[in-house]
Amino acid sequence: MDLITELTIFVLAAFVGFEVISKVPATLHTPLMSQTNAIHGIVMLGGLIVAGFGDDPLEYTIGFIAIAFGAINIVGGFMVTDRMLGMFARKKKPAEASAEAEPEQS
């Protein structure tokens, strides 16, 4: 991909981001933040690539840490967002929700 194509994608993505995110109500800003936080864990792909092609112990080590960090970011981020949103979603039908009684963590 040439630089101009990449810059085009970048600028359009920025506008899409502003449009989509400004529609999220303030009530849901914490889950939004934690979800977008999980999405930037996509840097782990970079970790997979550099680790997958590394060829000395230092690069293996860097790659290992980068992948582990990225995986924490992705897995932790999506799971914690899911937990939070589960709390909001349950509110819709209070009667059924108490019957389901999802196990509480805290």
Partner 1 sequence: MSAFAVIEAGGELSTALYILSFSLFIFGVRQGTHPTTAKRGNMLAAVGMLIAVITTLLLDGIGNWGVIVAGLAVGTAVGVIASIRVQMTDMPQMVALYNGVGGGAVALIAWSEFRQEIEIGHEIPLDTFIPILFAAVIGSVSFWGSNIAFAKLQDLISTRPVSLPGQQLINAALLIGVVGACVILAADNGSPSEGIFIAVLIAAAVLGNLAVLPIGGADMPVVISLLNAATGLSAAAAGFALDNVALIVAGTLVGSSGTILTMEMATAMNRSVANILFAGFGGAPSGGGGDFEERPHRSLGAQDAAITLGYADSVVIVPGYGLAVAQAQHAVKELGDELEKRGIDVRYAIHPVAGRMPGHMNVLLAEADVPYEKLVEMEDINPDMPRTDVAVVVGANDVTNPSAKNDPNSPIAGMPIIEVGEAQQVIVIKRSLSPGFAGIDNDLFYMEKTGMVFADAKKAAQDIAAEVTRL
27-66 residues near partner 1, rule: CB under 8 A: 27-55, 58-60, 62-66
Query: Under the criterion CB under 8 A, does residue 102 sit at the interface with partner 1?
Result: no
How far apart are the C-alpha atoms of 33 and 21, rounded to whole Å? Answer: 10
Query: Under the criterion CB under 8 A, does residue 101 sit at the interface with partner 1?
Result: no
Smaller CB distance to partner 1: residue 52 or 99? Answer: 52
Query: Under the criterion CB under 8 A, does residue 88 sit at the interface with partner 1?
Result: yes
Per-position b or e across 69-94, b if 16+ CB within 10 A of its CB: ebeebbeebbeebeeeeeeeeeeeee
